[in-house]
Amino acid sequence: MSEQVLDLAIIGAGINGAGIARDAAGRGLKLAIIDAGDPGGATSSASTKLIHGGLRYLEYYAFGLVRKALAEREVLLDIAPHISWPQPFVLPHAPGMRPEWLLRLGTFLYDHLARREVVPGSERIDLRSQRAGRALKPDYRTAFRYWDGWVDDARLVIENLKDAAQHGARVLPRTSVARAERRDGLWQLTLDDGRSLAARRLINAAGPWAEDVARRVMGMNDAPALRLVQGSHIVTRRVHLGRDAFMFQQADGRIIFVLPYERDYSLIGTTEGDVQRPQDAQVSDAEVDYLLAAANRYLARPLTPDDVVHRFVGVRPLILEAGKGGAASARETTRDYRLVEHAGLDAMTVVGGKITTYRVLAEDVMRRILPKSKPWTAAAPLPGGAIERLRGEHGQAAFKRWLDQLQAREAHYDPAIIRRLAHTIGAPTEGLLAGGLGHNLGGVFEAELDYFRSHEWAMTSQDVLWRRTKLGLHLDSAAQAEVARWFGEAAPDVREIPAGHRFARPAVD
C-alpha cells in the first residue's frame, strides 16, 4: 500500500508535466511525477529549441496562439536567462514565394502583437551589406531581420523538475506506470518496480503517448485522438560565423530554420511527416537529403552529407482542428494545447502544446484544479536563473552581470569553462567552482558528472552527453568512453551515437 496519499500524480516528465509539477508543488500540493525514461528524454529534448510566437502561424490567422506565445517569450527569457537568449533571424525574400509586402506585414504584426522588453523589433536589411549575406547566394539581396528566443529545451525540463523537487515533489524517472485505477475515491497507481502510489487526482501528460496512457493505463476512451508528426533535425558544420539564424522559405510552402548551434555547428530543421507510433520515429536519409537541399537552395557554400555530424528526431502530438479531418497538413494542425477533463474522476489528459507555452498550460491546469490559489511562476526565476538582481533588472541583464563578476572572482579557472558551466546549470556554478571540479575526463569534470547524477537524475552517459549537456558533439571518443565508465557502463561505440541519437523510450511501457 502507499505510504501517504498524494494530492496529485503526474504521468510524463516532459516539459508539460514538469511545468505542471513545478507550479503545483509551489502552490503546496503533495505530488509525484513519473516517467518511464529520462526526464525530458523524448520530444522535449528533440525540438528546434526556439521560444517563439510562430511567425508562420500568422498565415493561418492563429493570432491568439501567436500573441500568447510572444508574451511567454519575454517571461521565459527572464526566468531562465542562463539557458535562453534573444535570437535574431534573417528571412530572405525569395522571388516566386511569399511577396515582400507580405513578409513586411507579417514581421510588423509579430512586433506588435505582444509587449517586448528585451527582444528587438524587426527591420528590412540589404544582404549585400550584412555579414549574414555572405553565407547566401548573391541572388538573395533583400531580407527581414526579426527576433525570437532560443532555449536549451532539455535543460528547461530539468530546471522545472528541480524547482518542483525543491518544493517537495517526488520525481520518479525510469519508472513505468503499469496500471492506474480509480478505487475508493482515489487513484491507485501500480508501478513496474512493485511500488504503488495513491493520489486524489491524476494528470496524464505523456505527450505522444497520452492517448495510449489514457486508454490502456487509465482505462479511458474519451481522450482525443492525436496526430503524431515526426520532426527530424540535422547538425552540420557551421554555415556562417554571425549571430543570425536563418528562416528559409521553400517551394512547397514549408520553411526550415538554420540556427547557430553549440558554437561550432548549425542546427537545421525540421521535417514534418506522420508516424504511427512514437517509438517508430527515426531520421531517414530522405529527410537528411530534404533538409540539405532546402538549405542549399540559399547557401553560397553548399552542404554535403559529409557535413552532417549529428541527427535527431522528435514526435509532436498535434490536435486536428475541428472539421479538418485527416486531410489537414501538419502546418494546418494547431500547436495549441487541449486539457481533457475526465468527468467525475478527478483526472485530466493534456494533449498538444508547444515548449514556448508550457508555463501558461500549467497555469491553466491549476486554474481548473485549484482555482483559489494564485499564479506564481511568471515572476519566479528557475533555479539556475536564481541570481541576485538589481531593482527592475531583467534576467538577461542580471545573468550577464553575474557571469562577468563570477569570471573575475574565479580568475584561476579558464573563462571558457566558467561560461560553459554557467550556461548549463546557472547559479549552482558558484558552488561547483568553490568545491573544485575534480579530475578532467577529457573536457568534462568529475564534479559535473556527480552534480548531474545527484541533483538532476542523470543515470547514464547518454543523459549527460546529449541532454544535460550537448558534450556529445564536442568530446572525442576517449572522453566519451571515460564518461561511460564513470557511470559504470561499457564504453560505447561513439561513432554510432550521432546517427542513433533519437528518443526511444516511451512515456509508459
Does the pLDDT of residue 326 top 60, yes or no? no
φ, ψ of residue 352 in degrees (nearest 5): 80, -160
- How do the domains of the chain map onto residue ranges? 5-43+155-224+333-379, 82-150+227-322, 388-500
Instruction: Return the DSSP state at 224.
Output: P
DSSP labels, 163-222: HHHHTT-EEE-S--EEEEEEETTEEEEEETTS-EEEEEEEEE--GGGHHHIIIIIS----
Fold of 5-43+155-224+333-379: FAD/NAD(P)-binding domain (3.50.50)
Please check the confidence at residue 247 and state whether its pLDDT lies above 50.
yes
pLDDT digits (tens, 9 = 90+) for 372-397: 999 999 999 999 999 999 999 999 99
CA distances from 95 to 77, 108, 247 (A): 35, 20, 15
State how far the alpha carbon of 414 is from the alpha carbons of 4, 378, 405, 418, in Å. Answer: 48, 34, 14, 7
Answer yes or no: is pLDDT of 309 > 60: yes
Is the per-residue pLDDT at 205 higher than 80? yes
The string of DSSP codes covering 455-498 is HS---SHHHIIIII--GGGTS-HHHHHHHHHHTTPPPP-GGGHH
Rounded distance between C-alpha atoms, residue 466 and residue 492, angstroms: 14
Instruction: From 469, 358, 370, 367, select the one nearest 421 (Cα to Cα).
Output: 469
Count of CB atoms situated within 10 Å of the CB of 392: 6
**Chain centroid, CA 100 distance in Å:** 32
129 vs 324, more confident: 129
Task: Count Cα atoms within 13 angstroms, Cβ side, for 483.
Answer: 30
Residues forming a β-bridge with 45: none
The pLDDT of 6-20, averaged and rounded, is: 98
Give yes or no for residue 1 having a pLDDT over 70: no
Percent of the chain with pLDDT over 90: 83
CB 349 within 8 A of CB 342: yes
- What is the distance between the alpha carbons of residues 402 and 434, in angstroms, rounded to a whole number? 16
Residue 60, SS3? helix
**How confident is the model at residue 61, as a pLDDT?**
79
Quote the CA–CA distance of 93 and 99 in Å, as a whole number. Answer: 7
How is residue 401 written as a grid cell? 552581470
Please write the tens of the pLDDT for every residue from 209-223. 999 999 999 999 887
- The strand pairing partners of 9, in sequence order, are 32, 202
Q: How far is CA 464 from the centre of its chain?
A: 16
Are 142 and 92 within 8 A, CB to CB?
Answer: yes
Share of the chain above pLDDT 70, in %: 93
Question: Predicted confidence band at 364 (pLDDT cuts at 50, 70, 90)?
Answer: very high
Distance CA 440, CA 420 (A): 14
What are the pLDDT digits (tens) for 488-505?
998 665 444 443 343 333
Report, as an integer, the average pLDDT of 227-245.
95
pLDDT tens-place string over residues 252-301: 989 999 999 999 999 999 999 999 999 999 999 999 999 999 999 999 99
C-alpha cell at 31: 505530488
Q: Distance between CA 402 and CA 408 in Å, rounded? A: 10
pLDDT digits (tens, 9 = 90+) for 119-152: 999 999 999 999 999 999 999 999 999 999 999 9
* Three-state secondary structure call for residue 341: strand
State the pLDDT confidence band at 401, using cuts at 50, 70 and 90: very high
Q: What is the mean pLDDT of the chain?
A: 92
CA dihedral sign of residues 493, 497, 500, 505: positive
- How much of the chain is helix, strand and coil, in % rounded to 5? 40, 25, 40
Residue located via cell numbers 511567454: 72
Q: How do residues 148-167 score in pLDDT, each as one tens digit?
A: 999 999 999 999 999 999 99
Given this model, what pLDDT does residue 492 score?
A: 60
* Of 33, 344, 17, nearest in space to 189 by CA: 33
Q: Of 64-73, 403-412, 423-432, which gets the smallest average pLDDT?
A: 64-73
Q: Which 8-state DSSP code applies to residue 49? A: -
- Cβ neighbours for 457, distance < 8 A, ≥ 6 positions apart: 38, 39, 158, 161, 171, 173, 463
pLDDT, residue 335, reads 63
pTM of structure: 0.94
The yes-or-no verdict on residue 320 having pLDDT over 90 is no
Instruction: Write the single-letter amino acid at 141.
Output: R
Rounding to the nearest 10 degrees, give the CA dihedral for residues 20, 25, 30, 36: 40
Q: What pLDDT does 350 receive?
A: 96
Handedness of CA 269, 274, 280, 286 (dihedral sign): negative
What are the cell numbers at 241? Answer: 560565423
Q: What is the pLDDT of residue 330?
A: 47
Q: Looking at domain 82-150+227-322, which CATH architecture does it have? A: 2-Layer Sandwich (3.30)
pLDDT value, residue 495: 43
- What angle (nearest 5°) sits at the alpha carbon of residue 235, between those of residues 233 and 236? 135
Q: Do residues 279 and 466 lie in contact, with contact meaning Cβ atoms separated by under 8 Å?
A: no
- Residue 58 has a pLDDT of 86
**Which three three-digit cell numbers place residue 343?**
468527468
Integer Cα distance of 353 and 358 in angstroms: 7
At residue 110's C-alpha, the angle toward residues 327 and 229, to 5°, is 30
Q: Mean pLDDT over residues 187-209, rounded?
A: 97
Instruction: Give the number of C-alpha atoms closer than 13 A to the C-alpha of residue 40, restricted to the C-beta side.
Output: 31
